[in-house]
Amino acid sequence: MKRDYSFLDSNQDKLNIKNITKEEAEKLADEIRAFLVESLEMTGGHLASNLGVVELTLALHKVFDTPNDRIIWDVGHQSYVHKILTGRAKDFDTLRTPGGLSGFTKRSESEHDAYGTGHSSTSISAAIGFAEADRLQNKTSYTVAVLGDGAFTGGLVHEALNNIDKNLRLIIILNENEMSISKNIGAFSRHIAKMRATRGYLKTKSFTRTVLTHIPLIGKGLFRGIRRIKKGIKNAMYGSNYFEDIGLYYLGPADGNNFEAVENLLHEAIASGQSTVIHLKTTKGKGYAPAEEKPNQYHSVAPQGCTAKTNFSAATGETLTSLAAEDDKIVAITAAMADGCGLVPFAQSYPDRFFDVGIAEEHALIFAAGLSLGGMKPVVPIYSSFLQRGYDSILHDIALQHIPVVVPIDRASLSSGDGATHHGIYDISFLAGVPDITLYAPATYVSLARYIKEGLVATQPTFIRYPNSCEFLPKGYTQKNNLYYNNIEKPNGIIITYGSIVKEAERATKTLSEKDFSCGIILLEQLKPLDTKTILSVLPENCPIVFLEEGARAGGVGVMLYDAIRNDAKMQNRTYTTLAIDSFAEGVKGESLYKTCGISAEDVVNAFLTK
């Protein structure tokens, strides 16, 4: 039974909290937390991070006025409270479903989402762009970038910080919730931080600034001089910090779960008249005991009724851990995804051979290249959608030098929950043109282990792609080299495919059989280089081919295969149709992504029967 949220009225277009009191904010924060826990138990989603930013988000929406002012959430997985405050609470039952409420910020979803996100460390670059555009057009809007300390491990953040003009209407909020990036200077520091976040201190500071800067001729210079002296004394006693050293105004650290403190610091940042960093410390999972105690486990929760299964990610970690026991040259690298990529067992068993480089895919890959040339055997599991960031590293630093690095490509499939920013459908296309690499798509854990072992002794880069699922080889298939086939004796049609979409191929063959149309399936595991000799050897004569692909059409396996075999005698007088993805696969409400992309079982059936 759902709670009665007396303060949180989900039917409003936007909650008006401009005049909210501290007491009312505390009540609203409690209701929002209860609403998040209740909603995400049903839909799944990012829980702990959103529970931690409730007061911060309330303060932002009290001080600033979106969409005129812009709030850019790095990654965007912590924007649920922002969505609630901007009229989307009523849609939370559709969260992370095709055509429903996105799990990240999305420009097409709301005018209050200034910038679409999904990947980490992009917020400051985008925020600088907005702020510079405002400056050039003499606009008075403010741009606020909110990012966690984890995002600061991404190099893009530091490239952006290097590009900031200090005289912008720009505020960067560093939400520190896991690791410290500033040195601990004891009780006095905590006392100063608390004092600086009080209304009395900030009012006095504002009054002093106003009085000094209005003294004729010397006022502004006097104020700047006093500020330099103050900064010099502080730096001498406690040391400067990174942000001040690059010329930014710095406030904090302060309690990010204290609504009044955050509101006061936001007003101080505005009053400073310059680009400002506000350093806040928040508690992940705040207000929900299980999430506070184990924030990693509640970072993303599954929908009610879903149970965790052994999947390819876990199988990769288990395989590497087992192989590393016999080979001390094997090392594992992750870009802040040890849990997601199944590497926790390896990290626990071989901590000296495990490297978490933070959110830095480019560095992870080049680091692996160096390890390989230094005599080690590096394995770098990376999500397909994140591997996009490392393309130059793959092409220029690994493949061009023929360096043997093993790259398991995780989540290589459509992502119905995370949506377009996380679809793993482009890796084949951007790897297709890279010479002298091997690319596999195992259907079983046994195949996965075999390809990892082959990659560890190879003389060139090896890529192994798999979906976020368990193994998926249907029963009754025959294996020949690196492919499987079924029902290829004089069928009316043949489906060639790879990956877990073979389940749609199976559904299609069942429907076709009911229409007296016999259809066989060839399931590929080696995608580059294509083993055309084996494929042609099992390909039935004459019948039409439908190539079914859960990936981009341009540069995909379907296109590559046709180009490779179209002149063979077996292909003469035969139709060949490729069903693949030509869009960003944004999703349509009430429709499967397979159907939206034109790669469903029904599409396969139509492709055969309309010939």
- Residues identified as active-site: 284, 361, 389
Percent helix, strand, coil in the chain, to 5, is 45, 15, 40
Specify whether the CB–CB gap between 284 and 295 falls below 8 A.
Answer: yes
327 CB-contact burial (10 Å; exposed 0-12 / middle 13-18 / buried 19+): exposed
Nearest C-alpha neighbor of 46 from the set 22, 80, 14, 13: 80
Residues pairing with 250 in the sheet: 277
Q: Is 71 helix (H, G, I), strand (E, B) or coil?
A: strand
Distance CA 364, CA 382 (A): 9
Residues pairing with 382 in the sheet: 409
Q: In this structure, how many other beta carbons lie within 10 angstroms of the beta carbon of residue 242? A: 14
Residue 192, C-beta contacts closer than 8 angstroms, at least 6 positions apart: none
* DSSP-derived secondary structure letter, 258: -
The tally of CA atoms less than 13 A away on the side-chain side of residue 441 is 32
Pairing type for strands 249-255 and 276-281 reads: parallel
Residues pairing with 171 in the sheet: 144, 276
* DSSP-derived secondary structure letter, 303: P
Residue 174, C-beta contacts closer than 8 angstroms, at least 6 positions apart: 147, 148, 149, 152, 181, 252, 277, 278, 279, 280
Residues pairing with 479 in the sheet: 484
* DSSP-derived secondary structure letter, 551: E
Pairing type for strands 330-334 and 354-356 reads: parallel
